[in-house]
Amino acid sequence: MNQKTMSANFLRGVPAEEALSHLVLMVSEGYERAIKRHGTDVLQYGHFSGFGKLRELLGRMHKTDPARVIVGNGGMEVISLLFKSLPRESTIFIEESTYDRVIFDAERYGHKLIGIKMSADGLDLDDLKSQVNRVPAAVFYGIPFHHNPTGINYSVENRKAVEEICRKHGILCAWDICYEALRYDGGKHEPVTVSEWGPVLLSSFTKTISPGTKCGYIVLPKDRMDYMEKIVANTRLNPNLPTQAFIADFIESGQYESYLAFLHNLYKPRMEALNRSLQSCFPGVYSAKSSGGFFATITLKKIVHARESSFINAAKEAGVSIAAGWGSVAPNFINERRKEGLLVRLTFPASKAEQLTWGIEKLKEVENDFT
């Protein structure tokens, strides 16, 4: 790409076009196989908890009873169903920054959100202990792998400590594990262990297959299934059964694992380019060295709140699209975080390595000129 026409868009966490193009033939053939194999079973109304074969495969994947799995129409739907199942005006603990749609959706149901401080290896356990002793919460929602928006990973010890604190205090611990499979550095995560009490698992195939397929799922304790099934049935009678049948076939055939390997190879050099550029241009102000997922964040300490819009416009004129990340910050942390400088969420999979390198370097130039 010519330097004169170079641009960088850090705004949307979408899969790369190369990934979706690679998928087209597999998806078209997979849907055809699913329809021919299952016929009217996937065209008629089906069980609102999801396609049986996919529930079975997900139960096996998470080493739990498939009867504890509900498959729905996207990750955001199953998160929303969880929030809908809570008594109105429940208190929900979240990380100090998190998936912005979770904040919006929980507030839409009238719930109160309290952010918990984060550390380099997950949650600040002292802050969590302090909050659970002050406020009776219904749920803790967290993203333990390749966190959105910071990119950090919880350590196994931290994750298990969070689960134990929640269990001890009767708080439902809900892990959103949608990025778990998207690790590009060659390492492996220790999976979350599901016991009788929990934790709840939330996930989707949005980033690992495609957004358009719209398939997500939730794994619940058995004693919550009857009530949740009533919530699901009263929200939508039927999930997208052709998609769920396709995904079941995709997993069972081994194509899913092969496609994940393709994504790892595609996204690894982009991740490495982002890491190198951030280390070179913004040492000490980015959230974590990325090992996978879709996101990282930086805090530009020189950009005070009153000048955010001007800075973002200046970056756009220079060819770099960014936005303030305040929508992802817990309500009780916004004022404190704004004093630290402009929070920017950076996404990388949809951009080529040279665009990412150029974009971070140009963003640094704009910051230098601006301040």
What pLDDT tens digit does each residue of the chain (371 aa) get? 445 578 999 998 899 999 999 999 999 999 999 999 999 999 998 888 999 999 999 999 999 999 999 999 999 999 999 999 999 999 999 999 999 999 999 999 999 999 999 999 999 999 999 999 999 999 999 999 999 999 999 999 999 999 999 999 999 999 999 999 999 999 999 999 999 999 999 999 999 999 999 999 999 999 999 999 999 999 988 899 999 999 999 999 999 999 999 999 999 999 999 999 999 999 988 778 999 999 999 999 999 999 999 999 999 999 999 999 999 999 999 999 999 999 999 999 999 999 999 999 999 999 999 87
C-alpha span between 61 and 84 (Å, rounded): 26
DSSP 191: P
Q: How much is the pLDDT for 250?
A: 97
Q: Which residues contact 39 (CB under 8 A, 6 or more apart)?
A: none
Predicted local distance difference test score (pLDDT) of residue 3: 54
DSSP letter at 146?
S
Length of the chain, in residues = 371
Residue 148's pLDDT is 97
CA 150 vs CA 118, 127, 141, 185, 208: distances in Å: 10, 19, 15, 17, 19
The closest alpha carbon to 112, from 83, 78, 73, 75, belongs to 83
Helices 17-38, 255-281: axis angle to 10 degrees equals 160
Q: Which long-range contacts (CB under 8 A, 24 or more apart) does 119-127 make?
A: 119/158, 120/152, 120/288, 121/152, 121/153, 121/154, 121/155, 121/157, 121/158, 122/152, 122/153, 122/154, 122/155, 122/158, 122/159, 122/162, 123/95, 123/154, 123/158, 123/162, 125/158, 125/161, 125/162, 125/165
- Are 149 and 114 contacting, i.e. CB atoms less than 8 angstroms apart? no
Identify the pLDDT of residue 12: 82
Can you give the pTM of this predicted structure?
0.96
Residue ranges and CATH numbers for the domains of the chain are 3-16+257-370 (3.90.1150.10), 24-255 (3.40.640.10)
Burial label, 268 (beta-carbon count in 10 A; 0-12, 13-18, 19+): middle
HSE toward the beta carbon, residue 256, CA cutoff 13 A: 18
pLDDT (0 to 100) of residue 301 = 92
pLDDT for position 272: 98
d(CA 240, CA 228): 18
Residue 286 and residue 300 in contact, taking contact as beta carbons nearer than 8 Å: no
Task: Tell me 207's DSSP state.
Answer: T
Q: Residue 119, SS3?
A: strand
The residue type found at 108 is: R
Q: Please report the pLDDT score of residue 47 as a whole number.
A: 83
User: Of 294, 258, 300, 296, whose CA–CA distance to 275 is shortest?
Assistant: 296
Specify the 3-state DSSP secondary structure of 73.
coil
CB atoms closer than 10 angstroms to residue 18: 15
pLDDT of residue 166: 98
User: Residue 347: what pLDDT?
Assistant: 96
Side-chain-facing half-sphere of 76: CA atoms under 13 Å? 12
Backbone angles phi, psi at 248, to 5 degrees: -60, -45
Q: What is the pLDDT of residue 252?
A: 95
Q: In what helix (H) or strand (E) does residue 342 lie, and over which residues does it extend? A: strand 342-347
